[in-house]
Amino acid sequence: TQIQYDLYRVPFNDGKGGTPERIVGASANGMSNNFPKVSPDCRWIVYVRCRNGQLMRPDSQLYIVPFEGGQERRMNCNTSLMNSWHSFSPNGRWLVFSSKSRSPYTQMYLTHLDEEGNDTPAILIENTTAANRAVNIPEFVNVAPDGFSKIDAPATDFFRVFDLALDLTRKNQLGDALVQWQKAVELNPEEAKAHFNLALALERAGQIEQAVAEYQKTIGLDPENSGAFTNLAVALARRGRMDEAIQYFEQGVRIEPQSAKARGNLAAALMEKGRIDEAIEQCRTALEIDPDYSDAHNTLGIILNRQGQLDEAILHLEKAVAGDPASFEYRYNLGSSLAAKSRFQEAIPHFEQAVSASGGREPASLAMLAAMFAQTGRLAEAAATARRALEIAIQRSDQDLVAKLQARIADYEARIAP
């Protein structure tokens, strides 16, 4: 701000005012002099001096000058960066002010003044607010030391709990984080971010219905929160409530029409409901926004596979795998499309990666890998891999898959040369 201020005194004159008088020591010095505070005994003026503008400038420094004007002094309490927002104590012996010398947020400092206006180096008053909240215009309260039995500061308490919950979440201490998010919502039930984070914590804890309720509260408080719409839709889809999920996915797209992720989520839900043309349209729009978006390539690849357009399906599924080579789903879908084209040898490494991604505990990928081994003449490996799948199918009491695998194993073993 290319503007500079001088401090002036205006006579009271029974309320009629008079000619402004420049305060010597706080004017006509080539600097901006601003935010004056007069000591309770009317002996001193403490003001901010900076090159331009007023208040919290990077070079803001506190100066003291006699009330009637005279020689100003730079105060000893100044920190290295941004000094302002100051106030006197009722007895005029203490000055509280704010600075950003130790934090991107203003913090509260204290200095003592003697009868001659000489001040001490400042001390930081710690733990007065949350680490990511500013202290602006601190004031003294003129009460006796025992005048307060308790100070309620719900906003401060809320931010303290919010920050603690966020820290626990980042440390993956999810159970403790859930407790703190619940406390945050109790302290400020009108804060959408608290409800959103509580919903996330509940979802991670497997409490899906409670998470759905918190996402809905988030949307009620913040109707433009696309993340809440998307997460709510995902939670509803997992509960089999696909029609409701699609409505919320559509709201997410309305809020963020240029989000490839929002359109990709909607496309997957539309595909599950059999609304194929709409799903294809959303996939193609998502890929126009982000040509490398793996989920959209995967969904489009599945649709094209089902429609018999295998060559195009494979192209999209290869792009999905390129974007996330560790994805079980992408590898399995690409392997299946290659197998449908009788490209069995090419399908093998993708099913092997799918088996690896699942830790060898997903029987469908093992069964498909066994089939690819059989199609390429590796019958002993086919039988061994199918037996691994059979063991898991038996543990899961999947009788249909057990019967299919037993038949396949018998076939593989019968075809192995003696």
Task: Give domain limits for the chain.
Answer: 8-124
Collapsing DSSP to helix, strand or coil, 22 comes out as: strand
Task: Determine contact, residues 56/100, Cβ cutoff 8 Å.
Answer: yes
- Burial label for 186, CB within 10 Å (0-12, 13-18, 19+), is exposed
Q: pTM of the entire structure?
A: 0.65
Query: pLDDT truncated to tens, each residue of the chain (418 aa)?
Result: 589 999 999 999 899 999 999 999 999 999 999 999 999 999 999 999 999 988 789 999 999 999 988 999 999 999 999 999 899 999 999 999 999 999 988 999 999 999 999 999 999 998 877 777 788 888 898 888 777 766 666 667 888 899 999 999 999 999 999 999 999 999 999 999 999 999 999 999 999 999 999 999 999 999 999 999 999 999 999 888 999 999 999 999 999 999 999 999 999 999 999 999 999 999 999 999 999 999 999 999 999 999 999 999 999 999 999 999 999 999 999 999 999 999 999 999 999 999 999 999 999 999 999 999 999 999 999 999 999 999 999 999 999 999 999 999 999 999 987 6
Token readout for 252 is 């997410």
Token readout for 378 is 């590796």
CB proximity list for 230: less than 8 A, separation 6 or greater: 248, 249, 252, 261, 262, 265
Domain 8-124, CATH among 2.120.10.30, 3.40.50.720, 1.10.3720.10, 1.10.10.10 = 2.120.10.30
Report which DSSP code applies to 98. E
